Amino acid sequence: MKRILIGGAMGAAGLAAGLVLAPSAAQAGHTNTLIGAHLTGRAEVAADGSNRMAGDPNGRGEAYVFGIDGDPTTLCYILEVSKIAELDQAPGGPRMAHIHEGAKGANGPVEVNLAFPQGGQAADCLTEGEVGKGLDPGEVQEILANPEDYYVNIHNGEFPSGAVRGQLHSDD
């Protein structure tokens, strides 16, 4: 059963990657909103509000977030991260990933729980009301309509407040 679930998740991740990377002509007629973020350690904001380097200076990555046609309550994402510690370890403890509400240069509360990118990658689709994911009713459409009000943050043991961060933005 575990192999089936893992295989299904990997298939969904492959499908999601295909949707993101497909040429726009292939997406003609689709209304999926694609938003993204370039993740760096330099984008992390110090908890004390100073402008000191707060994240991993070598860390980098990309986040892609998108909706699903005809389903305003589902949010999908793909994370690709490199050059941060603990990517080879299982999620848990300080190894987490989130979408936070917050403007560029400001810290904000966790809004959505994402999978830690073990091995450097993570992908999933989440539905509002799903236990443990943090998506409240109406939040998917709020994130997709106002991506600049949200950021993606990846945490690890070395940088528990955030190793890499990127402000979401529309790719249009």
Residues of the domain holding 45:
2-170
The predicted structure's pLDDT at residue 170: 92
Residue type, 119: G
Tally of structural domains, the chain: 1
DSSP state of 58: T
Q: Residue 6, CB half-sphere, CA atoms under 13 Å: how many? A: 3
pLDDT tens, 68-111? Answer: 988 999 999 999 999 999 999 999 889 999 999 999 999 999 99
Q: Residue 90, CB half-sphere, CA atoms under 13 Å: how many? A: 1
Does this model's pTM top 0.75? Answer: yes
Q: How far, in whole angstroms, is CA 127 from its chain's centroid?
A: 14
CATH number of domain containing 101: 2.60.40
Mean pLDDT for the stretch of residues 3-28: 44
- The number of beta carbons lying within 10 Å of the beta carbon of residue 46 is 14
Q: Look at residue 43 and tell me whether its pLDDT is greater than 70.
A: yes
User: Can you spell out the DSSP letters for 65-122?
Assistant: EEEETTEEEEEEEEEEEES-TTTTS-SBTTBEEEEEE--TT----EEEEE---GGGEE
The predicted structure's pLDDT at residue 30: 52
- Inter-CA distances, 2 with 6, 7, 76, 86, Å: 6, 8, 22, 24
- The number of beta carbons lying within 10 Å of the beta carbon of residue 134 is 17
Q: How far is 104 from 120, CA to CA, in rounded Å? A: 24
pLDDT tens, 117-170? Answer: 999 999 999 999 999 899 999 999 999 999 999 999 999 999 999 999 999 999
- Inter-CA distances, 102 with 138, 145, 147, Å: 17, 14, 10
Burial of 7 (0-12, 13-18, 19+ CB in 10 A): exposed
